[in-house]
Chain A
């Protein structure tokens, strides 16, 4: 579904990503992990078009995303949440989600100007769909509230519902459980799992190992801008390079090759 080939990104002389290649298969739950500053969020920013890669190729379902404006990429079927939550705080929960449907509301000037039946029907359908999406994350009971009044965990869930409203084929989640408490994490785990079962392909960045290992079928590990390992959760758990990246190397032990 999503394919990155030899992607690199430099900020001036600083090489943030180098030769990053991996593929997110359709229908899977894919995880990208790595220590802080490894370049994970940069990968998302490149995919969603907020940054342009220095080199390489990014393609969604065979179509290149390079040089495309973010809103066009979204319309191709790519939804995203942010590590530092970016909901519309002064809007109601319902409006937040309906904004996500922007590209799917298709009515012209006379329709909204004169409130023609076509406009009203589409708006009603959007509201119904938004309420349904809010119910997926358990926020439908207070849909009219201002988003600013939500707790941190609920704001993340709202962002998830809003991303789903863009009708993505591929959903990018940037640290979905960051800052959540244990019970909220468990709740979100089941919600993401049900969303995956509904046929969405999910690609997430996450630090919480239990969450990643419990959800993802495939994991890529990024360290210092390079993919150092890729495989199933079990393979990743035992990979010596991954262990080294996360836990450091024992200087007394004989050094092995490949460490940057």
Chain B
């Protein structure tokens, strides 16, 4: 017990950051599953963080209300900007949403009387308990898991593969894209609200371009084929800088390098059920040589077997 308490004292912040990052990774997974490369999630996180913090600090709202506000505000903003931006696709959407992120950052920077400008908000009450984060992650995972198994999840997948064909199956592509975008914004806002009440301080630079790339990296690294991927990616991206403490200055460089390597060798991310199936299909032969080869190794394999997917 003693050892656990020690561990928790030192690492509780890190563990909770994993949870917050998992929420962020899931939020961008939602739009990616719809075939949308929307990069506004860092900004949505910022809107959620500022809304919730201002609610607790200035209005004295209870924490649940602040969280609700932190979800509602970015969702509304997403519904507003979704109309014009979601007509774009591919890099054009990425550019438009990145631009939106910059606008949000500059607005926060300049609305000094409300947001504290470049100095940020200080002394946010530390209201987030460890179980708040846990419950949030579980609820979001359950919601998305059920969504994937419904007609909406199938529609997302169809839109990602071929929007024209999907619309000729009677799927309203725009409405579904909007749903994915707004829901993702809400989840990112929740992550921001929880995170703000964990760290005492938030500033505009936290929600800029770097954060947006971080969020995308987590999801791409983990794999977009399911819900396990984003969570796994969040875990790795959060822990990696801690494990590579001596390389701290090279953190962004490493992130970039990892993203490039993953895209090159594992285009579907670390968690790819299709690839695992391939392993199991070959398992009898491998098992004949080594009796312990039954379970797949947790780390990415050599690049050769990865390219063995269906063509």
Contact = CB atoms under 8 A, between A and B. Distances in A.
Contact of B172 (A69, A86, A115): A69
Contact of B167 (A71, A88, A115, A119): A71
B154 A99 contact: yes
Contacts of A86: 162, 164-165
Interface string A78-104: 011010001111110001001111110
Nearest to A88: B161
Nearest to A90: B161
Interface string A101-117: 11101010000111100
A99 B162 contact: no
B310 to A, nearest CB: 6
A90 B171 CA distance: 18
Given A88-B165, A119-B150, A146-B310, A71 B173 contact: yes
B152 A112 contact: yes
Contacts of B146: 112-115
Interface string B129-143: 000000000000001
B142 to A, nearest CB: 8
Nearest to B175: A71
Nearest to A115: B146
Q: Is the interface of B mostly helix, strand, loop or mixed?
A: helix
Interface string B6-44: 000000000000000000000000000000000000000
A99 B149 contact: no
B155 interface: yes
Contacts of B154: 95, 98-99, 102
Contact of A162 (B143, B161, B169, B311): B169
B170 interface: yes
B169 A112 contact: no
B281 interface: no
Contact of B158 (A70, A99, A119): A99
A50 B164 contact: yes
B172 A71 contact: yes
A107 B151 CA distance: 9
Contacts of A146: 310
B168 A70 contact: yes
A87 B158 CA distance: 9
Nearest to A80: B168
Contact of A149 (B149, B155, B162, B310): B310
Interface residues of A, number: 36
Contact of A75 (B147, B157, B170): B170
A107 B149 CA distance: 13
A102 B152 CA distance: 8
A184 interface: no
Interface in A179-205: none
A103 B170 contact: yes
A74 B151 contact: no
B167 A70 contact: yes
B158 A112 contact: no
Nearest to A147: B161
A80 B152 CA distance: 21
B166 interface: yes
Interface string B288-311: 000000000000000000000011
A98 B166 CA distance: 12
A148 interface: yes
Contacts of B152: 112
Given A71-B170, A113-B146, A166-B170, A88 B158 contact: yes
Contacts of B172: 69, 71
Given A75-B170, A102-B151, A88 B310 contact: no
A155 interface: no
A131 interface: no
Contact of B162 (A71, A88, A101): A88
Contacts of A8: none
A135 B162 CA distance: 24
B169 A100 contact: yes
A91 B165 CA distance: 13
A99 B150 contact: no
Interface string A47-82: 010100000000000000000011100110001101
A48 B158 contact: no
Contacts of B168: 48, 50, 70-71, 74, 79-80, 166
17 contacts: A71-B172, A71-B173, A74-B170, A80-B168, A88-B157, A88-B158, A99-B154, A99-B157, A100-B170, A101-B151, A102-B154, A102-B158, A102-B171, A103-B169, A105-B151, A107-B151, A112-B152
Given A79-B168, A112-B151, A119-B150, 8 more contacts: A50-B164, A70-B164, A88-B161, A88-B165, A91-B157, A101-B151, A103-B170, A115-B146
Interface of A: 48, 50, 69-71, 74-75, 79-80, 82, 86-91, 95, 98-103, 105, 107, 112-115, 119, 146, 148-149, 162, 165-166
Interface of B: 143, 146-147, 149-152, 154-155, 157-158, 161-162, 164-173, 310-311
